[in-house]
Each structure stands twice: as C-alpha cells, then as structure tokens.
A and B are shown apart, each in its own frame.
Chain A
Amino acid sequence: GAGVSQSPSNKVTEKGKDVELRCDPISGHTALYWYRQSLGQGLEFLIYFQGNSAPDKSGLPSDRFSAERTGGSVSTLTIQRTQQEDSAVYLCASTQGSGEKLFFGSGTQLSVL
C-alpha cells in the first residue's frame, strides 16, 4: 500500500473486553513496530517484528498484551481483559530495513470505559 494503514482508527470498549488492533505495513517492508502513546506523552515501545518473528517482546506491558504477524505483512495487536490504563493511541510503523526511514500509521485511539 501507499502508506501504513491501521484499523480501526477509533475503538471504544468496556473494561474487561478483548480488543484487536490491525496494522497493514507498506508493501515490502520487513520490519514492523508497535508503539503506544498516552495523552501528552512520548512513545512507549511495545514490540518489534522482523519478518514474522518478534526478536524483542520485552516492551509488552503485561501478559494481557500479545501480537502476531503473518505472511511478513499484516500484524495484529491483541489486548485481553482491557483496563482503563490501556487507553492510549496505539501506533504502528514499518521500515524496509535497518538503514531505512521508519514510517508511521495514523494510529488507533483506544478508549476503555
């Protein structure tokens, strides 16, 4: 695709429900990142994929968070039993390689009521 696509753009859910966030990276980009940004804050690293494997999962805040990537393309970030502190903008980014620019999607605004 022309850019990194994320869906949904907005998600409102009730505490305790599970949510899935989707990221479709730029075609041909092998590396994919998930970050989280709370209101007025910086970017918190969650997980990084190189191809379909995730060499660095240490940023996931708890075992309620998981992510996968299939076919070296689309990635899904799943949050189980959502809590109010999970409310944030979840950002996905992709890059063609280690020496290349990183491109971000528009993010998913998650609100947990």
Chain B
Amino acid sequence: GIQVEQSPPDLILQEGANSTLRCNFSDSVNNLQWFHQNPWGQLINLFYIPSGTKQNGRLSATTVATERYSLLYISSSQTTDSGVYFCAWRSYRGSTLGRLYFGRGTQLTVWP
C-alpha cells in the first residue's frame, strides 16, 4: 500500500531556531499538502504544494516530485508553532482515487 513517512517524529526547539521537517512518499506525487494541528486539535492547511517551492511568512515548503519527498521549513520558530505537523498525499488512480493518505506527523515543541 501507499506509504507516507514523516521525520523526525519529535522535535524540540528553542524559540528562534530553524527546523526542517521531511515527508517521503512511496508513489509519484501529484497532490501534496502540509497541515498544522494546534494543541487544541484544529487542523490548519499550510500548503498545497504538488511541486516546487512556496513561502508563507516564516514557513516555506518544497516538493521534489521526481524524488518523492517534500520538506517543510520553519524559520525563527515561535511557541505558537508548537503542535503536530502532518503531510498528506492524494491518490490519483485505482480504487483509492481521491483518498488522502496522511503521515504519522512530527510533534514540534518550541520552548520560550
């Protein structure tokens, strides 16, 4: 089956530090999204990024579709960045067409 692997599983940072989260896929990428789940459980869509690079403030994401991975960069981290970061890949063929597969997430804790 499709595998979506995220690393690292846990990350602890001091406020102001930079970090890189990684997502690997076992199939070709055509629809890749990054989400942040805050400590209250709300999932926020950060990026829709099937290929290339996008930036939104202190966050940026890069997907290299040919090599089946995506990276999420967080610069100058703040305590409000704490939570779980998920990547999700959408199946585009077969009986699972349309299904989104989520990784197990990276738990980020930012200390003041």
A→B interface (CB under 8 Å): 31, 33, 35, 42-43, 45, 48, 50, 55-56, 58-59, 89, 91, 93, 98-104, 106-107
Contacts and interface: CB of A to CB of B under 8 A. Distances in A.
B31 A99 contact: yes
Interface residues of B, number: 25
A56 B41 CA distance: 26
Contact of A48 (B42, B43, B98): B98
Shortest Cβ-Cβ A-B pairs, 8 listed? A104-B43, A43-B102, A101-B48, A42-B104, A101-B45, A48-B98, A56-B99, A48-B99
Contacts of B31: 98-99
Interface of A is mostly: strand
Contact of B98 (A50, A89, A91, A104): A50
B11 interface: no
Interface in B62-112: 86, 88, 90, 92, 95-105
Between A31, A33, A42, A59, the greatest number of chain B beta carbons within 10 A of the residue's beta carbon is seen for A42
Contacts of B101: 45
A34 B31 CA distance: 18
Given A56-B99, A91-B43, 9 more contacts: A42-B104, A48-B100, A56-B97, A59-B99, A99-B50, A100-B48, A101-B33, A106-B41, A106-B42
